[in-house]
């Protein structure tokens, strides 16, 4: 089962969600509206997301969707 890690820093208003372990070699791409996609720089695979200026109940988090599946569930 995948482990999701969520970090919230109220003093900097930063919400970070990782569904894979952070990498030393990772890159970030701003998707707009303060949403940043974190990817493995070698494979380009998304590993997390950051939301800037986040407050609990923020509507932007409702628009972020991550779908995860394994090969066994695709059969």
CA 33 to chain centre: 14
* 3-state secondary structure (DSSP) of residue 73: helix
Tens of pLDDT, residues 20-73: 999 999 999 999 889 999 999 999 999 999 999 988 777 766 655 555 555 444
Tens of pLDDT, residues 46-59: 999 999 998 877 77
Higher-confidence position of 63 and 75: 63
pLDDT for position 75: 43
Round to whole Å and give the CA distance between 54 and 8: 9
- State the pTM of this model: 0.74
Phi-psi region of 33 (alpha: psi -120 to 50; beta: other; left: phi over 0): left
pLDDT for position 74: 44
């Amino acid at each position: 089962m995948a482990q999701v890690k969520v970090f919230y820093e109220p003093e900097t208003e930063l919400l970070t969600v990782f569904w894979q372990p952070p990498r030393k070699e990772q890159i970030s791409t701003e998707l707009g509206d303060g949403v940043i996609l974190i990817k493995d720089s070698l494979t380009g695979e998304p590993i997390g997301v950051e939301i800037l200026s986040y407050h609990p109940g923020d509507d932007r988090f409702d628009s972020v969707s991550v779908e995860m599946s394994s090969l066994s569930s695709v059969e």
